[in-house]
């Protein structure tokens, strides 16, 4: 059973980042993204929010603005 705060849309977006090499599974930013998926952004600590905002948000923005032919050119993994 999924937690009530599970964010399916964010989960799918993070999976896309992983699939295209824009985020590394072992990176701290990935762990913070998982916490945001399951517990919500407000549950993040101040430091986790800073990491999420610095690494995950720009990667999501690049991915959403990127044409399909450019996939995988940008890589993050703070």
Give, in degrees to the nearest 5, the angle at Cα 52 between 27 and 69: 75
Reported pTM: 0.77
pLDDT above 50 (res 73): no
**In Å, how far are 4, 8, 9, 12, 66 from 37, measured between CA atoms?**
11, 7, 9, 10, 23
Could you tell me which of 17, 6, 8 has the C-alpha nearest to residue 64? 17
Which pLDDT value is given to residue 14?
A: 97
**CA distance linking residue 51 with residue 28, whole number of Å:** 8
pLDDT digits (tens, 9 = 90+) for 14-72: 999 999 999 999 999 999 999 999 999 999 999 999 999 999 999 999 988 866 555 44
Which pLDDT value is given to residue 5?
A: 74
Which pLDDT value is given to residue 46?
A: 98
Question: What is the number of residues in the chain?
Answer: 78
């Amino acid at each position: 059973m999924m937690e009530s705060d599970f964010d399916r849309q964010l989960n799918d977006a993070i999976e896309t980042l992983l699939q295209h090499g824009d985020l590394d599974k072992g990176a701290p930013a990935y762990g913070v993204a998982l916490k945001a998926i399951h517990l919500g952004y407000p549950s993040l600590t101040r430091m986790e929010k800073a990491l999420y905002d610095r690494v995950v948000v720009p990667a999501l923005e690049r991915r959403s603005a990127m044409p399909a032919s450019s996939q995988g050119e940008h890589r993050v993994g703070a």
